[in-house]
Structure 1
Amino acid sequence: MRIETDVTRLLGIDLPILQAGMSWASSCTALPLAVSRAGGLGVLAAGPMYIDALEQCIDEIKAGTDKPFAVNMPLYRKGAEEVLDLLEAKRIPAIIASQGGPKKYLDRFKAIGTKCIHVVAGEEHAVKAMNAGVDGLVVVGGEAGGHPPPSLVSTLVLVRAVSKVTGGRIPLIASGGFADGRGLLAALSLGAGAANFGTRFMATPEANVSDGYKQAVLNAGVSDTRTVGNGLGMIRAIGNRFTERMLELEGQGADIESRKDVFMAATLKMAAFDGDVEEGKLEAGQSTGLVDRVMPAAEVVEEIASDYVRALQELPSAVG
């Protein structure tokens, strides 16, 4: 099956389905490789990876498929320049950069033909990134797991707003709240050319997170995530003892240093790698409530595409 949009044409993929770059969950070969093989865009998350492990994963993905993939690059990470040098040397098909300005990487990657996608969370940054020359934008709304925009404006509103100010001059990828084909249809109707799926791909055998983390995703409802850490790099995560402590401190008006101590003591690695789902950061989006089973990543891609077709066929036609 192929669903052609400006994003699929830009990236050379069959389906407008992107697997979000998720630290730990897609800091591995298996998940991005499976998604790219299935016709979407698999994304290797470079954020927490050592340079040698990152190089090995890139080589393994290239050996496993001739289809495009991307590397998600948080520009603030320690050793960012060394990582950028590696990605340039490996001539990766696409880079999805976040948490920094595009001028830091744009020229060098466009010169070698790498597609440059930039993550934004508002109209102003979207226009700046577009004018800087990026090839596409990931627009992240408030439903997203990990780091949603501090404003928490919903994806439904934010994608429309960015679509209006960019006026169709750049491909958009909607991110936050998507778990199935009906979500993909909604994203395309808003003016995006693809949707970014994060939490849904956590519930796959290929996701590099603990079984406890995956079970927490399955157990949580749409109202069971919390946003904590305002002013500290706010995250959206499934509620647990860590989020309860943070919400209590925030409710008491605790000073930022007191909140920072608790916020920094908990890590994503604790939940994803160590399996500590009570004290670690269980980052996930509101779409966790739409995920009810673990299934192979390729089947997730196929199901999203099939659901999209059915949903499109079920839309009422105009009369008169």
Structure 2
Amino acid sequence: MSWASSNAELALAVSRAGGLGVIAAGPMYPDDLRAAIAKVQAGTDAPFAVNVPLYNKRSAEFLDIVLEARVPVIIASQGGPKAHIGRFKEAGVTWIQVTANPLHARKAEDAGVDAVIAVGGEAGGHPGPDEVSTLVLVRATVQAVSVPVIGAGGIADGAGIAAMLALGASGAQLGTRFLLTPESGLHEHYKNLVLQADIGDTAVIGRGRSPIRMVKNDFAAEYEAAARAGASDSELDALFGRSSLRQAAKDGDVAQGKVEAGQSAGLIDALVPAGELVERLVQETETALRGAASLLR
């Protein structure tokens, strides 16, 4: 959700409606993160979160800001919590860890996290290296840990949320669905391309490096052709490095930029305001659960 929710507007709208809005700190400057947090805090008393990728060169400063600003929830990704979690627990901050497999989830639980997010291979952005589906990964993670599990990957509506609950998860995280909202900070070209995508129009690019799931475009086709032709590692690295998420998300170059999105893009056909979307998701989830329960009669 870098760039899409690297602002106050999306997180504020979601939290106001009863979801857990998340500010994506990754591409932000520290002062911009402080300003976004302050704007959310001024706009609602509801809980919200900041996502901090722990590999980020500014992660130490981001973590300090989360503590200083008394953000109630941190969602940490791309790095282990053990070295950082103590001071957050002392401050009463809820720590949720993004995990790619049950082993990582168990390690996070042992480190003291409050919950884990199990992200399946359908998700946009950086999937787990094994690309295990959400259906299997969430169930395996629920069986592996005793802390609450949040399912993610391939979820675009209330039926998907209900499916996560049926697997034993305590909740769901939706990314691509919230990319496609007016409050999302993405360029309109990015949103339009994702809206046009069908369920088979994404691909995992860069396997063996830092793979991403993205909408197929000219860059993706060029990279896949080079990989099939036997390009060297250095050639593939150079090609991969020529394209960036910012290029698509901020500049609108959706031909050569990395248009990160999940397979659930094919289930989405309209931009919906984030607050309205949260309300709709609740209604859809209740309908799906009632429908499932009716089968027991």
State the partner residue of 2:289: 312
Unmatched 5+ stretches in structure 2: none
Q: How far apart are the structure 2 equivalents of 1:260 and 1:279?
A: 15
Q: How far apart are the structure 1 equivalents of 2:166 and 2:232?
A: 43
- State whether structure 2 residue 83 is matched by structure 1 residue 104: yes
State the partner residue of 2:204: 227
State the partner residue of 1:153: 132
Task: Compute the displacement of 1:317 (Å).
Answer: 2.5
Task: Compute the displacement of 1:113 (Å).
Answer: 0.5
Q: 1:91-240 maps to which residues of 2 (within 5 A)?
A: 91-166=70-145, 169-240=146-217
State the partner residue of 2:272: 295
Q: How far apart are the structure 1 equivalents of 2:262 and 2:12?
A: 23
Q: How far apart are the structure 2 equivalents of 1:34 and 1:264?
A: 34
Q: How many residue pairs get matched?
A: 296
Task: Compute the displacement of 1:104 (Å).
Answer: 2.5
- State whether structure 2 residue 248 is matched by structure 1 residue 267: no
State the partner residue of 1:65: 44
Q: AA paired with 2:210?
A: G
Unmatched 5+ stretches in structure 1: 1-21
**Cα deviation per residue 1:135-174 (whole Å; 9 max; x = unaligned)?**
00000100000001111100000011111111xx200100
Q: How far apart are the structure 2 equivalents of 1:226 and 1:184?
A: 23
Task: Compute the displacement of 1:81 (Å).
Answer: 1.2
Q: How far apart are the structure 2 equivalents of 1:165 and 1:204?
A: 34
- Secondary structure of the structure 2 residue equivalent to 1:142: coil
Task: Compute the displacement of 1:121 (Å).
Answer: 0.6
Task: Compute the displacement of 1:313 (Å).
Answer: 1.9
Q: AA paired with 2:92?
A: G
Moved over 4 A (4+): none
Q: AA paired with 2:296?
A: A
- C-alpha RMSD of the superposition: 0.9
Q: Percent identity?
A: 50
Q: How far apart are the structure 1 equivalents of 2:227 and 2:3?
A: 28
Q: How far apart are the structure 2 equivalents of 1:152 and 1:253?
A: 23
- State whether structure 2 residue 234 is matched by structure 1 residue 257: yes
Normalising by structure 1, we get a TM-score of: 0.91
